[in-house]
């Protein structure tokens, strides 16, 4: 019986360590999201969408602005350990929008499914998904 208790304790210890590493990675990744980002390209259902909006990320919250006016606000949750990396945003009073992302320096690509739909598996603007590219402002 003692052997089983030790195995369980070791398993719990390993799982806690893995959880802490994943949380630390998400924290580092979220840190890279901080600041002001300009929308440079966007498509929904294969159709180009207006660009030029600004996304401001502070901690785990975001604000979308255009022409100095706030269009939406919400929270961001990242999982950089997933493949592809995942992002969930929840607009104030809305349901989570599930997405995937890449982040390379000052360039970010995100693909979101519509609210309440399954997370996209690929970077594509088909099936109601929105594919966007953002550039970090200095």
Q: Which domains does the chain have, with CATH numbers?
A: 2-136 (2.40.128)
Strand partners, 133: 41, 109
Condensed to tens digits (0 to 9), the pLDDT of residues 75-88 reads 999 999 999 999 99
Question: What pLDDT is stored for residue 9 in this prediction?
Answer: 56
Q: What is the mean pLDDT of the chain?
A: 88
Run of H or E including 84 = none
Residue 133 has pLDDT above 90, yes or no: yes
Residues in the chain: 138
Residues 6+ apart with CB under 8 A from 123: 84, 100, 102, 109, 111, 131
Residue 92 has pLDDT above 80, yes or no: yes
Condensed to tens digits (0 to 9), the pLDDT of residues 3-15 reads 666 666 555 554 4
Q: Give the separation between CA 94 and CA 75, rounded to whole angstroms.
A: 11
Q: Give the separation between CA 57 and CA 34, rounded to whole angstroms.
A: 5
Q: Give the separation between CA 98 and CA 78, rounded to whole angstroms.
A: 10
Percent of the chain with pLDDT over 90: 73
Q: Give the separation between CA 86 and CA 92, rounded to whole angstroms.
A: 20
């Amino acid at each position: 019986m003692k052997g089983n208790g030790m195995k369980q304790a070791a398993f719990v210890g390993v799982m806690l360590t893995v959880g802490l590493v994943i949380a630390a990675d998400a924290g580092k990744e979220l840190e890279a999201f901080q600041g002001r980002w300009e929308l440079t390209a966007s498509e929904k259902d294969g159709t180009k969408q207006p660009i030029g909006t600004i996304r401001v990320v502070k901690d785990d919250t975001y604000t979308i602005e255009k022409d100095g006016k706030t269009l939406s606000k919400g929270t961001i949750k990242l999982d950089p350990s997933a493949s592809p990396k995942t992002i969930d945003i929840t607009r104030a009073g809305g349901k989570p929008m599930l997405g995937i992302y890449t982040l390379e320096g000052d360039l970010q690509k995100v693909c979101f499914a519509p609210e309440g739909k399954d997370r996209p598996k690929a970077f594509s603007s088909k099936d109601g998904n929105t594919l966007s590219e953002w550039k970090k402002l200095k």
